[in-house]
Amino acid sequence: MKRTEFYTGLFLAFGLFCFAYVALSIGGLRIFGDSRYVLYADFQSTSGLKPGATVEIAGVQIGNATDIVLKENRARLVLRIDKHVGIPADSIAAIRTRGLIGEKFVKITPGADDAVLTNGQEISETESVVDLEEMIGKFIYDKK
């Protein structure tokens, strides 16, 4: 009887550990060391982009935009990029939308430079999001 209770308890403890690990990993928290490095990108506007948005190259997710802060009247994105991905120094970061009114994400177009960005550096070339509401407003009100 004691042996069955021991194995049942061990099985439950292992199951709870696995559940907690998966839940924290999905939430973006790394338990066993972080396999990412930080890059920054400044934009005129990030309207609609939310922390946690994906960062992609060629449609493949390579990281997340973990934070958006205001720096010198510009929106600064904090990008956490997988360590195995090298981003050339002359790359371009752009905010794009999936579909017509879908979620926003950061698209990185790699440059041709041999030098790659390292932890704490900034992607200097950026393209802000195209705000559809602003474009429609300009079209309607500037038509007069």
CB atoms within 10 A of CB 111: 16
Residue type, 16: L
- Residues near 37 by beta carbon (within 8 Å), at least 6 away in sequence: 80, 81, 83, 118, 119
Residue type, 74: R
Residue 46 has a pLDDT of 87
Q: Which residue has the higher pLDDT, 129 or 42?
A: 42
pLDDT digits 0-9 by tens, 1-48: 688 888 888 889 999 988 887 777 666 565 665 688 999 999 998 888
Q: Which range is least confidently modeled, 34-38, 104-108, 137-141?
A: 137-141
User: Which residues lie across from 122 on neighbouring strands?
Assistant: 40
pTM of the full structure: 0.71
